[in-house]
Chain A
Amino acid sequence: EAQVTQNPRYLITVTGKKLTVTCSQNMNHEYMSWYRQDPGLGLRQIYYSMNVEVTDKGDVPEGYKVSRKEKRNFPLILESPSPNQTSLYFCASGGMGTQYFGPGTRLTVL
């Protein structure tokens, strides 16, 4: 089954404690992306990747890092999380047509 998976689905953490949210896709897509979604603001892109070892900043990259060492995986790293990073995070992959989204990770930073 074609899908995008994310882990964990829910995470409560404390300020400053490094965390990684994993994302994996099995559709052999070159393009992958991370978004955060906050009430009233819609989806905002954090980082995207056009292919292995190629990543670029989206609209809200501050406080985040990504890596793309393999085509299928695109982890999101928060080196020192802060409360303003409390949000719903989505990973997506896609071709020229549609984007396929993972189920989301709800992150709370205390």
Chain B
Amino acid sequence: GQNIDQPTEMTATEGAIVQINCTYQTSGFNGLFWYQQHAGEAPTFLSYNVLDGLEEKGRFSSFLSRSKGYSYLLLKELQMKDSASYLCAVRDSKKDSNYQLIWGAGTKLIIKP
């Protein structure tokens, strides 16, 4: 079957680093996305990985290992505004549409002063 697993909730301290993990099992793979969603708001795009390795974008980095079905989102120099849910989504190449994503339930990140 198809499945995406993320921790439900994580807590971290302002100024610190946090790593949010995502593991997936899909029939095919054509890219992994990370989205940020503040409470009651729309998800917004953070990163996209299709090849193995680390993609860095400012304070945020995302890593992918296709052989392990594993990704993580790394947030550095945490700020209070980073308190949000982080959604992992996979594009399954075996699905009918190349646009369709399989979504994880999201990781709620709580930042403490």
Contact = CB atoms under 8 A, between A and B. Distances in A.
Interface of A: 31, 33, 40-45, 48, 50, 56, 58, 88, 90, 94-104, 106
A100 B33 CA distance: 13
A96 B13 CA distance: 36
Interface in B26-44: 33, 40-44
Contacts of A101: 42-44
Given A31-B99, A42-B87, A99 B105 contact: no
Nearest to A98: B45
Looking at chain B's contact residues, the main secondary structure is loop
Contacts of B87: 42-43
A103 B45 CA distance: 14
Looking at chain A's contact residues, the main secondary structure is strand
- Which interface class (under 10, 10 to 19, 20 to 34, 35 or more) fits B? 20 to 34
A88 B40 CA distance: 8
Contacts of A90: 42-43
B103 interface: yes
A58 to B, nearest CB: 8
Contacts of B45: 98-100
B98 A96 contact: yes
A40 B105 contact: yes
Nearest to B30: A96
Interface centre among A33, A50, A96, A98 (most CB of B within 10 A): A98
